Amino acid sequence: MSEDIGVFELTPQKEIYSRINKLQEKMGEEEVELTLLIQNVDLFYFSGTIQKGFLFIPLGEKPVFFVQKNYERATMESPLRCIKTQGIKTLPNLLREFGLKGKRVGMELDVVPVSLFYKIKDLFREWEIMDISEQIKEVRSVKSEFEITQIKKSGKIIDKVFSEAKYYLKEGMSELELDAILNSIGRTNGHQGFLRMRGFNQEMPNIYVLSGDDACMTSFCDAPISGYGATPAIAQGSSARRIERDRPIIIDYGGGYNGYITDETRVFVIGRLKRQLERAYRTALNIVEDMESFAKEGVLAVQIYERAKEIAAKEGLAPYFMGYGEEKVSFVGHGLGLEINEWPIIGRGFNRPLQAGMVFAFEPKFIFPGEGAVGIEMDYIVSKGGVERVTQFPGEIISL
């Protein structure tokens, strides 16, 4: 890892234009003549810079990025044509000047807030605005070679953190203490700082360290395991609880390198787990092994979910799989990229086939009320013939 720290890797020009071409194809299918992108992560994906501005992508023509702040930095990082703008009110004139036309216009309506949307609508009354976010998610779901290289570097941060965890984990320390140490190991090894999650109210810490039945507390997040957090104001992640012997310690850590997120979970124990928990962990490993045996391009994401559920049910573990009681979630995996909740969703209702280049986290987990949670999460790259792991760290329980 360390040889890569500090290398400020820019997204190659060819890569940026290939992404834009893919979006333009989808725009063609939807008869969208012009797309306006303003969300920071989409800006980064389609321009190579996350600087503040308005990226216009016309159908079949070259895009123009009107940059509000910081223009100089945008020109350093983006291969696109960057034009300085003082703000939103200058856009109508700029669009005329640069010949950017369109009646049917795509915007990221899943994330753009209402008041900003109204300002834009007011400036362009002739626009018929449609939501282009599904098309963006589709384009972003298939990763290029460049992206897969970034994701593997992100995975190396996970390998490093999980490899070192056993040296720091001690009975009696608080979840927060271990959280702090592991997070700092990641950062020292080039972690970008935080993780991004698409959508309103979506947020997630880099790491969860949850011991014993702390892992049974769920929260507002759409995740099988949340924990208490250090405060009800955050309401997820590690707490001040002390780590005990013979209880599962579940560590969920998100790598982050050059924007790209990885997301894996391992179970640690000081001493020995109860039989029921050990058996559930072996079932989680079986589910992973089964997925690895058949997942590949063309397999429906929902099929993987259904098969995982079946294996859990055969072992009599259905009630504990991916949550308990009303707090069950209806997925066993999720796409990874610049955001932690990308496509594909390996879950109910996601009837799309896997495509080569998709990257997903697969996380069969079991929650036992009053006891704790066990399970695993590993990241995979889809290819024509199968799936390939992103990280190297082994899947077994780490016993101390």
Q: Are 268 and 251 in contact (CB under 8 A)?
A: yes
User: Mask 149-178, x = binds a copy of itself (CB under 8 A)?
Assistant: -------------------------x-xx-
Q: Which stretch binds a copy of itself (CB under 8 A): 15-23, 137-145, 258-266, 275-283?
A: 258-266
Range 199-218, binding a copy of itself (CB under 8 A) = 199-201, 203, 205, 217-218
Name 225's bridge partners: none
The answer to whether 357 touches 297, Cβ cutoff 8 Å, is no
Q: Which of 210, 334, 332, 199 shows the shortest CA–CA distance to 262? A: 334
For residue 187, count CB atoms less than 10 angstroms from its CB and return exposed for 0-12, middle for 13-18, buried for 19 or more.
middle
Tell me if 110 contacts a copy of itself by CB under 8 A.
yes
Does 258 bind a copy of itself (CB under 8 A)? Our answer is: yes
Q: Out of 87, 167, 220, 272, point to the residue binding a copy of itself (CB under 8 A).
A: 220
The helix (run of H) or strand (run of E) holding residue 135 is helix 133-141
Shortest separation between residue 355's beta carbon and a copy of itself, angstroms:
23
CB of 322 to a copy of itself, least distance (A): 14
Number of residues that bind a copy of itself (CB under 8 A): 78
Cβ within 8 Å of residue 261, ≥6 positions away: 154, 195, 196, 254, 255, 336, 337, 338, 339, 340
CB distance 81 to 112 below 8 Å: no
- Window 111 to 140, contacts with a copy of itself (CB under 8 A): 111-118, 131, 133
Smallest distance from a copy of itself to CB 332, Å? 18
Q: In what order do the strands lie in the sheet with 387-389?
A: 342-347, 331-335, 359-362, 378-382, 387-389
Choice between 205 and 212, CB closer to a copy of itself = 205
Q: Which stretch binds a copy of itself (CB under 8 A): 183-191, 284-292, 301-309, 384-392?
A: 183-191
Map the footprint of a copy of itself across residues 356-375, applying CB under 8 A: none
Residue whose CB is less far from a copy of itself, 182 or 277: 182
Cis peptide bond prior to 364, omega within 30° of 0: no
Residues between 24 and 83 with contacts to a copy of itself, criterion CB under 8 A = 38-40, 44, 48-52, 69-70, 73, 77
